[in-house]
Amino acid sequence: MKNYLFILNGGIAIYKVIDVIRHQIKNGNKVRVVMTEMAKHFITPLTFQTLTNEDVFSNFEDNVEDPVAHVSLADWADVIVVAPATANFIAKMANGIGDDFASTIVLARHSPVYVIPAMNSHMWSNFATKRNVKQLRDDGIYVLEPDDGLLAEGYTGKGRFPEIDQINQFLDSEKQVAKDLENFKIVVTAGGTREPIDPVRFIGNFSSGKMGYAIANEAAQRGAKVILITGPTNLKVPTQVISESIETVRDLQESLNKAVTDADVVIMAAAVSDYRPLEKAQHKLKKENFDGNLEIKLVENPDVIANMKRPDTLKMVVGFAAETDDLLDHASTKLAKKRLDMIVANDVSGNGIGFGADDNAVTLLQPDKDKIVLKKQIKNSIAREILNVVAEKIMK
């Protein structure tokens, strides 16, 4: 049994949340409800009080016996669900605003948050809303895409509250976020490496680090002790994650061999440079010093996985294969050559997935097992599926 806290925003779709709550109660979970003042204009608190057999809160005065009820509810909740999530409340969450009872709960939370938006299609596609949703996902909050369909305004568009079965499936998958990785140490590498050419230029790649950060966040949410070794990114390190910044492949190798001590799992999501300049120029290279051609001699970088220490505690090593062609063939070869327990085959040829994108589509390959195909979805969801496989293997 888990404690589910539903935070209800004002919107015509609010009546549909009744069935979502009923489903969680049927599954044996405890449910409490917080409503914004606007939500009470669409449906009465009595409806949810009757459904949950619990008091419904809307403001700080609703519970005079507990002056910090917003913190108490945040501490009570194992899962927080914001539904229907309005553009306004999403903006508050993304920017850390706590100007009412509901938003202060989100600021005080320590549990996973699931956001189910519902709004006009123009509001959903607004640049500000897109930016705010991206920020939530970068912060490790799960956001379900709204549906296309007939809106309250009388025309069709994307912004409709998702179907109840889809929402229930979305929330039921949260069962996998139980503390099933507690007492395990997981080392995750993320981002791209940089090999300096001179003081201002480097050899690098387009990795944003989003996939590795999503894995680190998911592992921490599930109770693991997480060490994140990260190349340069613009991302915020997830809470409860210990991070170390690196730039070059040799930096990565050194940090990894220190971090892997007594580790249970290593997940190599970083995109590393295969080569580095033989020498780094001490000063910026000037084009006038060359006759139109600049030749830089490169040498091969060490194979990080091959040179990684493998302590007796190590139960699983997961690699990534970022390819633009013959994806599964290249990934299968790498799986065997590097003695990996699993490889995540990642098509980075384009199509809005892979490097820099919020979404991904991957195939999980393991020795002597059927492949697992994960179709295009947000990287947080991909991270969850990867760790589901990891958890199943290391707990045998």
Q: For residues 316 and 342, state if they share a domain.
A: yes
* 284 is annotated as contributing to ligand binding: yes
Q: For residues 170 and 218, state if they share a domain.
A: no
Written as one string, the DSSP assignment of 365-379 is E-TTS--EEEEEEEH
pLDDT at 240: 82
CB of 216 closer than 8 Å to CB of 190? yes
Q: For residues 171 and 256, state if they share a domain.
A: no
pLDDT at 49: 96
Q: For residues 127 and 210, state if they share a domain.
A: no
Q: Which residues of the chain have pLDDT under 70?
A: 63-64, 173-178
SS3 381: helix
- Angle, alpha carbons 343-344-349 (nearest 5°): 130
CB of 143 closer than 8 Å to CB of 136? yes
* 320 is annotated as contributing to ligand binding: yes
Catalytic annotation, residues: 205
pLDDT tens-digit map of 110-167: 888 999 999 999 999 999 999 999 899 888 888 988 888 888 888 888 989 999 988 9
* 304 is annotated as contributing to ligand binding: yes
CB of 249 closer than 8 Å to CB of 196? no
CB of 318 closer than 8 Å to CB of 344? yes
183 in the Ramachandran plot: left (φ > 0), alpha (ψ -120 to 50) or beta? left
- Angle, alpha carbons 208-210-213 (nearest 5°): 125
Distance CA(31)–CA(13), nearest Å, equals: 19
**Domain final residue pick, 136, 160, 177:** 177
> Cα 100 vs. chain centroid, distance in angstroms?
27
Give Cα separations from 325 to 293, 330, 347, 355 (angstroms). 30, 8, 8, 15
Q: For residues 195 and 126, state if they share a domain.
A: no
Closest CA to 137 of 220, 213, 204: 213
360-365 contacts, C-beta under 8 A, 24 or more apart: 360/211, 363/327, 363/328, 363/331, 364/389, 365/328, 365/331, 365/332, 365/335
Q: For residues 169 and 194, state if they share a domain.
A: no
**Domain final residue pick, 112, 145, 177:** 177
Distance CA(199)–CA(252), nearest Å, equals: 20
CB of 33 closer than 8 Å to CB of 52? yes
pLDDT at 351: 72
Distance CA(97)–CA(101), nearest Å, equals: 11
Quote the number of domains for the chain: 2
Q: What is the CATH number of the domain that holds 46?
A: 3.40.50.1950
The one-letter amino acid code at 386 reads: I
- The strand ranges marked E within 48-184 are 56-57, 79-85, 113-117, 142-143, 147-150, 156-160
CB of 272 closer than 8 Å to CB of 301? yes
Q: For residues 28 and 116, state if they share a domain.
A: yes
Query: 138 Cβ partners below 8 Å, 6+ apart?
Result: 210, 213, 235, 236
Show the domain range for 145.
3-177
CB of 205 closer than 8 Å to CB of 273? yes
**Domain final residue pick, 177, 207, 231:** 177
Q: What is the CATH number of the domain that holds 242?
A: 3.40.50.10300
Tell me which H or E stretch contains 4. strand 3-8
pLDDT at 200: 94
Q: Which residue has the tokens 């509901």?
A: 102
Q: For residues 210 and 300, state if they share a domain.
A: yes
| Cis ω before 232 (30° cut-off from 0) | no
pLDDT at 355: 84
Written as one string, the DSSP assignment of 50-77 is HHHTS-EE-SGGG-TT-TTHHHHHHHH-
pLDDT at 174: 56
Which token pair is 149?
A: 């369909």
* 303 is annotated as contributing to ligand binding: yes
Q: pTM of the prediction?
A: 0.65
Q: For residues 76 and 44, state if they share a domain.
A: yes
Taking 3-state DSSP, the helix, strand and coil percentages for the chain, each rounded to the nearest 5, stand at 35, 25, 40
Q: For residues 161 and 195, state if they share a domain.
A: no
Which token pair is 299?
A: 């040498």
Q: For residues 65 and 165, state if they share a domain.
A: yes
Crossing angle of helices 45-52 and 17-26, rounded to 10°: 10
Q: For residues 157 and 48, state if they share a domain.
A: yes
* 334 is annotated as contributing to ligand binding: yes
